[in-house]
Amino acid sequence: MSEAKKMNTYLKYGLILGGCVILGGTIGFWAAGAREGLFSLSQIAAALLHLIRTYLLPEFLLLLVLDILIGELTLKKLSQLAKASEKAEEEESDRLDNEAEKISAWGSSMIAVIDFFSIVILSTAYSMEYIESVVRYSGGIILLVSFFLFILLHGYQGYWGVRLVKLEQKYNPDRKGDPASRKFTEQWVESCDEAEKELIYQSAYASYLLLSKTAPIISMIALFAHLIWNTGILAVILTSLIYLLMTMTYTKNCLQKRRKKGIR
């Protein structure tokens, strides 16, 4: 047992060392290259920006197709599992429920990744200066269709979310909440039993811990990027604001809950 632990520690150390070597090498390569004038980071960024902007329409089309494929496959599989779980014996039902949880998590994560890329891609063309220049030279039809696809993509994601909730409510009528309501999350959590609530609260706390560790790092990256490449202070302000908002909300809620429970 202790031998296995030793091996794990060495492996972990080796991985950390390997990661540091790769990170250091990459930074060194870019720094040396930029210093020697072999390439300019601003030129690379401009080329990347141009590439993304040129293929805006196929990029959004690809994301939309992927989104619909993943969304429909996830819902179909979840529906099949829910039907099978209703008829299954208790142990088999547990296995099917676990599988459904995994598929639901996978579908939601994939859709979140597509959401992230769609916003990053949109941001490359979402500036009045760029839009006006495109309209002036080519009429801007492709750009307009691309923006329409972006709206369609997000419209589908909202529709998918509603269908996911309705599917869960169909097979588990105890689950309450109107997905179109602003109070949906509160209504949903309220309808969960104590074990499900514990799971939600533990997951929420794990998310808080991760964000409280990563938010300051992201702020520092934005700060250094501004120092070296003059990327602007907005990113620094926004990431710092997220950290501030998160910490203040957590602290305020802790105090409120303690007061409510009469803890002094």
Partner 1 sequence: MPLYNRLKEQRARLGINQTDLGKLCGVSRQTISLIERGDYSPSVALALKLAQVCQTTVENIFWLEDEG
Interface ranges with partner 1 (CB under 8 A): 90, 93-94, 97, 172, 174, 193-196, 198
CB of 80: closest distance to partner 1 in angstroms? 18
CA–CA gap between residue 130 and residue 124 (Å, rounded): 9
Decide whether 84 or 131 has the Cβ nearer to partner 1.
Answer: 84
Query: Do the beta carbons of residue 88 and residue 19 sit within 8 Å?
Result: no
Decide whether 3 or 193 has the Cβ nearer to partner 1.
Answer: 193
Decide whether 213 or 260 has the Cβ nearer to partner 1.
Answer: 260
Decide whether 85 or 247 has the Cβ nearer to partner 1.
Answer: 85
H-helix segments, the chain: 2-35, 41-54, 56-87, 90-125, 128-138, 141-171, 184-190, 194-229, 234-260
Give the Cβ contact number of residue 108 at 10 Å.
Answer: 16
Burial of 188 from C-beta contacts in 10 A (0-12 / 13-18 / 19+): buried
Decide whether 3 or 90 has the Cβ nearer to partner 1.
Answer: 90
CA–CA gap between residue 180 and residue 37 (Å, rounded): 55
CB of 194: closest distance to partner 1 in angstroms? 6
Decide whether 37 or 173 has the Cβ nearer to partner 1.
Answer: 173
CB of 98: closest distance to partner 1 in angstroms? 10
CB of 88: closest distance to partner 1 in angstroms? 11
CB of 94: closest distance to partner 1 in angstroms? 5
CB of 202: closest distance to partner 1 in angstroms? 11
CB of 208: closest distance to partner 1 in angstroms? 22
Length of the chain: 264
CB of 15: closest distance to partner 1 in angstroms? 31
CA–CA gap between residue 91 and residue 1 (Å, rounded): 31
Classify residue 261 by its DSSP letter. T
Decide whether 132 or 190 has the Cβ nearer to partner 1.
Answer: 190
Of 214, 202, 205, 201, nearest in space to 243 by CA: 214
Structure tokens at 69: 């494929």
Q: Residue 232: left (phi > 0), alpha (psi -120 to 50), or beta?
A: left
Decide whether 178 or 198 has the Cβ nearer to partner 1.
Answer: 198
CA–CA gap between residue 180 and residue 35 (Å, rounded): 54
Query: Do the beta carbons of residue 41 and residue 34 sit within 8 Å?
Result: yes
